[in-house]
């Protein structure tokens, strides 16, 4: 390979030596200033740590406040606390209090060499925390003595009150009076209720002593009454000491101690902030000095980079751009005098890479030409396969459309329905071309009977599978009703179920089956997962079907048959779940509530049909139809 660059410098190692010299100078200057600043940084770090400890101490103290507050709110009215004599919140408080003391000792030790005023602040804080802890312990101790419900003095007081209630010779109304004053006191903690209870107890004790009861009985009642009053007085005395509801006594002392601790913590944090601010001002000056020196050194270093690196690289970049802009056809290289070994290596590597790229491009162009010829030869075959697939698709579509005509042909004739009902309508909307929903109707007339049989059905699936299932189900219904002459709704469903389960493991159908006996004026109904609705003037009658399909189901239960008398102008209404499960553009189901509201409010079937059609279209919007839709309504005569 021809030599592509001329080297005029004898020394090819100067770049590394110059960088090393510059680096040593920069390191010496920065290190000399940085070492001095580290002294202040260490002190600043200690101050930050101390301040953070102080802030954390305040946060932990607030957490302890929440524990004590929860103790007041929950534990003082919790029987478990009085029964066990322990509170999980107080246990947590004691653990947290030990941590607070250890933190204060750390702050005191660290702060001893920094600021005397802050040291005094920590000593004050330690004294306040002792008062705080002693107060909390006193509240817990006295609360246990005072008790709650069946524990402590309140528990004993209630025990003696129950004994008084059980005395036959002691008027129950008097006990109720004492308990009422007791309750008023517990709720309001006022002296007047204490005085009332004591006064009443003295009066009742005097009345008992003046009564004609046996002396032993009098002594028992009076002793019990005195014990009741004694425990009440002890409870009231502890309430005064605790002062929980009146915010006096130990509670007031606790609140004052908490406030003093918060003030001490705020004072310590304030002192730390002042010291840190002073230290940061000194460090800021050092940082400015270091930054100025770094800027000067960087400027000198930049000039050097421009002279020894930027210019050679710029020329190299221009050659690369010319190579790329020429679609990698430019073969001419350039000459440049360089004094650095690294630049020589860079340029030699570039020229070698350039040569290899040209060689690879030539090879690539040959491969592309070969692949293009191969693709052209396959294009004709793909076009033929496409035409064949389109032909198959057209034939399949034509077959499905013909199947639709067959399916529509087996649907009940409109004229037959018009002759069988005074009014009716059918809304039939397959999701695809063919449908899994179908309507079946037969009118059997003899000299002795006239029976109309009607099915509104929804087979498993939709499209071609659903249509095949609907055709098979129609055939089964014809066989059961016409050949076997079965005319009871539940028997028809049972036979239909047997036929389907014999050949299908998972498929089946939901349906409404109705038998109208015109001679007896009766209506028989059986339903599989579907209901029948009858509108009789302003009344809506709902006949519920069984919650199982006509098909495989994990139960041996048979279908129910509901029989009622029908009247002229009764309106029958049934539908598949395709209309109620339709999703809107927002993904919400149409639901049966909106659907049935129309049936309840509109009497004219033509108006009802039109309103249902319009509302279904509006609800669906631009969304695809979710399932096959079948709605049937008919007025009887």
pLDDT-based confidence at 116, cuts 50/70/90? Answer: very low
Which helix or strand (DSSP H or E) is residue 208 part of? helix 191-209
The answer to whether position 355 is within a domain reads: yes
Task: Give the separation between CA 527 and CA 550, rounded to whole angstroms.
Answer: 9
pLDDT, position 106: 81
One domain for residues 259 and 339: no
pLDDT, position 560: 97
The answer to whether position 417 is within a domain reads: yes
pLDDT-based confidence at 330, cuts 50/70/90? Answer: low
pLDDT, position 382: 80
Rg for the chain, CA atoms, rounded = 49
pLDDT, position 340: 66
Which token pair is 208?
């008992």
Task: Determine which of 71-85, 301-315, 382-396, 496-510 has the lowest per-residue pLDDT on average.
Answer: 301-315
Task: Determine which of 291-305, 323-337, 375-389, 567-581 has the lowest per-residue pLDDT on average.
Answer: 323-337
pLDDT-based confidence at 470, cuts 50/70/90? Answer: very high
How is 140-178 classified by DSSP, letter by letter? Answer: HHHHHHH--TTSHHHHHHHHHHHHHHH-TTS-HHHHHHH
| pLDDT tens-digit map of 416-435 | 999 999 999 999 999 989 99
pLDDT, position 606: 94
One domain for residues 500 and 594: yes
Task: Give the separation between CA 165 and CA 172, rounded to whole angstroms.
Answer: 6
One domain for residues 535 and 575: yes
| Total residue length of the chain | 637
DSSP designation for 569: T
Backbone angles phi, psi at 510, to 5 degrees: -105, 140
What CATH number is associated with residue 173?
1.20.1440
pLDDT, position 386: 83
| pLDDT tens-digit map of 197-221 | 999 999 999 999 988 889 999 999 9
pLDDT, position 2: 41
pLDDT, position 1: 40
Which helix or strand (DSSP H or E) is residue 372 part of? helix 341-409
Among 354, 381, 409, give the residue marking a domain's end: 409
Task: Give the separation between CA 346 and CA 329, rounded to whole angstroms.
Answer: 21
Provide the b/e sequence for 376-388 (b: ≥16 CB within 10 Å). eeeeeeeeeeeee
**Mean pLDDT of the chain, nearest integer:** 85
One domain for residues 193 and 261: no
Average confidence (pLDDT) over 149-168 = 90
Among 230, 247, 264, give the residue marking a domain's end: 247
Average confidence (pLDDT) over 74-83 = 88
How is 60-88 classified by DSSP, letter by letter? Answer: HHHHHHHHHHHHHHTGGG-HHHHHHS--H
pLDDT, position 366: 83
Task: Determine which of 71-75, 281-285, 614-618 has the lowest per-residue pLDDT on average.
Answer: 281-285
One domain for residues 592 and 477: yes
117, 49 Cβ separation under 8 angstroms: no
Task: Give the separation between CA 344 and CA 42, rounded to whole angstroms.
Answer: 48
pLDDT, position 5: 46
96, 64 Cβ separation under 8 angstroms: yes
What CATH number is associated with residue 547?
3.60.40.10
The answer to whether position 323 is within a domain reads: no
One domain for residues 437 and 577: yes
Task: Give the separation between CA 618 and CA 631, rounded to whole angstroms.
Answer: 17
Which token pair is 137?
């312990």
pLDDT-based confidence at 410, cuts 50/70/90? Answer: confident
Query: Within the chain, how many helices (H) and strands (E) appear?
Result: 17, 11
The answer to whether position 313 is within a domain reads: no
pLDDT, position 10: 47
The answer to whether position 3 is within a domain reads: no
Quickly tell me which residue has 């002229």 as its tokens.
568
Beta bridge partner(s), residue 574: 632
514, 490 Cβ separation under 8 angstroms: no
Backbone angles phi, psi at 551, to 5 degrees: 165, -165
Contacts of 349 (CB under 8 A, 6+ apart): none
Q: How far is CA 542 from CA 190, 359, 425, 564, in A?
A: 64, 86, 20, 12
One domain for residues 220 and 109: no
Quickly tell me which residue has 């199982």 as its tokens.
548
Q: Does position 8 have pLDDT exceeding 50, yes or no?
A: no
One domain for residues 48 and 127: yes
Task: Give the separation between CA 339 and CA 49, rounded to whole angstroms.
Answer: 53
Average confidence (pLDDT) over 378-396 = 81
Torsion of CA 122, 125, 126, 132, to 10 degrees: -170
Which helix or strand (DSSP H or E) is residue 542 part of? strand 539-543
Among 392, 409, 426, give the residue marking a domain's end: 409
**Angle subtended at Cα 167 by Cα 166 and Cα 168, rounded to the nearest 5 degrees:** 105
Q: How far is CA 313 from CA 141, 345, 358, in A?
A: 84, 12, 22
Q: Does position 287 have pLDDT exceeding 80, yes or no?
A: no
pLDDT-based confidence at 75, cuts 50/70/90? Answer: confident
Determine the 3-state secondary structure of 4 from DSSP. coil
One domain for residues 485 and 604: yes
One domain for residues 379 and 360: yes
The answer to whether position 577 is within a domain reads: yes
| pLDDT tens-digit map of 481-535 | 999 999 999 999 999 999 999 888 778 999 999 999 999 999 999 999 999 999 9
Torsion of CA 336, 341, 346, 347, to 10 degrees: 20
The answer to whether position 109 is within a domain reads: yes
One domain for residues 135 and 189: no
Domain tally, the chain: 4
Which token pair is 86?
């322990």
The answer to whether position 518 is within a domain reads: yes
One domain for residues 474 and 557: yes
Residue 166 Rama label (left phi>0; alpha psi -120 to 50; beta): alpha
Q: Does position 17 have pLDDT exceeding 80, yes or no?
A: no
The parent domain of residue 83 ranges over: 31-145+251-280
């Amino acid at each position: 390979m021809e030599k592509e660059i001329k080297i005029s410098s004898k020394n090819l190692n100067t770049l590394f030596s110059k960088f090393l010299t510059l680096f040593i100078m920069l390191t010496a200057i920065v290190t000399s200033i940085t070492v001095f600043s580290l002294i202040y940084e260490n002190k600043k770090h200690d101050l930050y740590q101390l301040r953070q400890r102080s802030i954390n101490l305040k946060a932990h103290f607030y957490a302890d406040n929440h524990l004590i507050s929860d103790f007041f709110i929950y534990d003082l009215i919790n029987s478990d606390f009085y029964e066990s004599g322990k509170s999980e919140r107080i246990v947590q408080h004691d653990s947290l209090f030990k941590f607070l003391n250890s933190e204060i000792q750390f702050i005191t030790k660290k702060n001893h060499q920094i600021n005397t005023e802050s040291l005094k602040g920590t000593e004050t804080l330690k004294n306040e925390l002792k008062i705080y802890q002693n107060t909390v312990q006193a509240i817990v101790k006295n609360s246990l003595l005072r008790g709650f419900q069946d524990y402590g003095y309140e528990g004993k007081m209630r025990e003696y009150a129950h004994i008084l209630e059980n005395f036959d010779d002691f008027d129950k109304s008097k006990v109720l009076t004492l308990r009422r004053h007791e309750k008023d006191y517990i709720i309001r903690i006022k002296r007047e209720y204490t005085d009332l209870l004591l006064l009443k107890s003295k009066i009742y004790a005097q009345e008992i002593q003046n009564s004609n009861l046996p002396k032993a009985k009098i002594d028992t009642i009076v002793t019990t009454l005195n014990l009741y009053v004694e425990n009440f007085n002890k409870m009231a005395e502890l309430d005064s000491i605790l002062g929980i509801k009146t915010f006096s006594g130990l509670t007031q002392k606790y609140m004052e101690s908490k406030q003093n601790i918060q003030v001490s913590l705020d004072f310590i944090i304030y002192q730390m902030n002042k010291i840190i601010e002073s230290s940061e001002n000194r460090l800021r000056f050092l940082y400015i000095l270091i930054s100025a020196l770094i800027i000067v050194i960087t400027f000198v270093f930049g000039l050097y980079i421009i002279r020894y690196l930027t210019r050679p690289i710029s020329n190299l970049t221009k050659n690369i751009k010319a190579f790329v802009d020429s679609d990698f056809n430019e073969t001419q290289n350039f000459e440049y005098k360089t004094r650095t070994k690294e630049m020589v290596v860079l340029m030699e590597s570039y020229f070698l890479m350039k040569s290899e790229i040209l060689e690879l491009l030539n090879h690539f162009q040959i491969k592309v030409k070969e692949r293009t010829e191969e693709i052209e030869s396959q294009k004709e075959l793909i076009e033929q396969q496409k035409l064949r697939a389109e032909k198959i698709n057209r034939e399949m579509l034509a077959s499905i459309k013909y199947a639709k005509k067959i399916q529509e042909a087996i649907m009940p004739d409109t004229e037959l329905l018009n002759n069988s009902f005074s009014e009716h309508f059918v809304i039939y909307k397959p999701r695809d071309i063919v449908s899994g929903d179908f309507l079946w109707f037969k009118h059997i007339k003899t000299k002795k009977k006239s029976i109309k049989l009607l099915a509104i059905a929804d087979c498993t699936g939709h499209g071609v599978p659903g249509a095949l299932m609907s055709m098979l189900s129609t055939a089964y219904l014809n066989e059961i009703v016409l050949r076997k002459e079965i005319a009871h709704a539940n028997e028809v469903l049972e036979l239909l179920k047997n036929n389907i389960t014999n050949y299908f493991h998972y498929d089946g159908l939901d349906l409404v089956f109705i038998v109208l006996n015109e001679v007896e004026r009766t209506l028989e109904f059986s339903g599989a997962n579907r209901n029948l609705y009858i509108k009789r003037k302003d009344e809506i009658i709902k006949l519920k079907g069984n919650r199982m399909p006509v098909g495989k189901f994990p139960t041996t239960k048979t279908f129910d048959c509901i029989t009622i008398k029908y009247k002229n102008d009764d309106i029958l209404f049934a539908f598949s779940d395709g209309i109620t499960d339709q999703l809107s553009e927002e993904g919400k189901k149409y639901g049966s509530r909106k659907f049935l509201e129309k049936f309840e409010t509109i009497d004219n079937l033509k108006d009802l049909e039109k309103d249902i059609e319009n509302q279904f279209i509006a609800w669906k919007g631009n969304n695809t139809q979710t399932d096959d839709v079948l709605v049937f309504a008919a007025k009887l005569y």
